[in-house]
Amino acid sequence: MNNISDLNQINTEKLFHAKMTYGQLFLFNIGNNTYVFRPLTVKELESVRSLVNVVNECFVEDWIVQQCYVYGTQNIEYLLNKEKCFITKTLSVKILERSNIPDENSLVQNFNKSRELANTIQETFESFISKAFPVISPSEVKDLTTIQQINLAAKAEVLLGTTLNIGKPNVREHLKKYRFREGAEVLGVDDIVSPEVADKFE
Amino acid sequence: MTPELKDKIDKLKSEGHAVFAITISGVKYYYRSINRQEYRALQNSLLKTAESLKGTKPDAEISIMVKDSGEEDLVKIGLIAPPITDNSPAGVLSSLSDLIMEASGFGSEAEPEVL
């Protein structure tokens, strides 16, 4: 992992903002220079695809680099005018490649990763709150603080009449190791006699 | 290296160009990298050439002509000294064109780190 050593306050804020907005950033180390780019959005990608055969290749490359530039030890004007010409080309190609889902296998892989993420408590909160308050999109829920999310989730439970199912049901597996004598009466252990466990215990 | 050539090279370096030297067929050539602005102008000029030739010749022939013209123009920009003459060996122009492209970052396989 490379450190970006000369980041000032403004660039740090830009970097954080871009990370929050686009989720993924690409850091290139080229010669003595470091550049950070964001991926193209789906809308931008579709525009590039539809215009790539009618617009001068050079302009498309410049456009991609200009759109996605987040930070650099050299500014965007340098990159578009003074940087070695094929570096800009390489950058645009790499940004394009990484903004795209190249084949079905990668798509399935990415989708499976998203499925795993969707099972986390955070993702459950986002979906649940969005379901109860349709004006808030899951990505907007991310803009809230954890406490705000918890409060909203509680309100969402009331609105939807559903209890949020967080974590695994408590089946208390450790109790299954116990061998009870036939006819034995267990007293004073709420944990064991709770309906949740009792009906599962033999 | 003459003092004039040294001054020229120093000036080019101060403008951000990378300068190289290579000996081809016993002659030492000095060349530099091409920046994006120069490349854009070159591409535009080639595009205009291709458009002006459209319909006058088969597409394949136009493509070869534009490629040759591109190589020549690239060397015109990137070659510092000595100039190519009619007596220069046939392959020099093509070799220099490849070297100038390489000096300008062609074939760079910079892989990004995902943040």
CB of A21 less than 8 A from some CB of B: no
The string over B34-65, giving b where at least 16 C-beta atoms fall within 10 Å of a residue's C-beta and e elsewhere, is bbbebbbebbeebeebbeebeeeeeeeebeee
Q: What's the rounded Cα separation, in Å, for the pair A34 and B17?
A: 18
Residues A30-56: tens digit of each pLDDT: 888 889 998 888 888 888 888 877 888
Cα nearest neighbour of A91 on chain B: B110
Instruction: pLDDT tens for chain B, 115 residues: list them.
Output: 788 889 999 999 998 889 999 998 888 999 999 999 999 898 888 888 888 888 887 877 887 887 888 888 999 999 998 988 888 888 899 899 999 998 888 877 777 778 8
User: Is the predicted ipTM greater than 0.95, yes or no?
Assistant: no
Cα nearest neighbour of B36 on chain A: A85
Using CA atoms, how far residue B7 sits from B1, B10, B13, B16, B80, in Å, is 10, 5, 10, 14, 12
CB of B104 less than 8 A from some CB of A: yes
What is the distance, to the nearest Å, from the Cα of residue A143 to the centroid of all Cα atoms in its chain? Answer: 13
Residues A56-111: tens digit of each pLDDT: 888 889 999 999 998 888 889 999 998 888 888 889 988 988 887 666 666 667 66
Q: What's the rounded Cα separation, in Å, for the pair B65 and B53?
A: 10
CB of A27 less than 8 A from some CB of B: yes
Q: What's the rounded Cα separation, in Å, for the pair A188 and A170?
A: 19
pTM reported for the whole predicted model = 0.66
The string over A127-144, giving b where at least 16 C-beta atoms fall within 10 Å of a residue's C-beta and e elsewhere, is ebbbebeeebeeeebeeb
Is A58 within 8 Å of B107 when comparing Cβ atoms?
Answer: no
Check whether A185 has a pLDDT greater than 60: no
The DSSP code for A160 is H
Is B112 within 8 Å of A86 when comparing Cβ atoms?
Answer: no
CB of A76 less than 8 A from some CB of B: no
CB of A81 less than 8 A from some CB of B: yes
Other beta carbons within 10 angstroms of residue B17's beta carbon come to: 22
Is B36 within 8 Å of A37 when comparing Cβ atoms?
Answer: no
CB of B43 less than 8 A from some CB of A: yes
Q: What's the rounded Cα separation, in Å, for the pair B99 and B103?
A: 6
Q: What's the rounded Cα separation, in Å, for the pair A5 and A30?
A: 15
Among candidates B18, B43, B112 on the partner chain, residue whose Cβ is nearest the Cβ of A94:
B112
Q: Are strands A33-37 and A69-72 parallel, antiparallel or unpaired?
A: antiparallel
Q: Which residues on adjacent β-strands are paired with residue B94?
A: none
Chain B interface, best mutation among A64, A84, A88, A98, by max B CB count within 10 A: A84
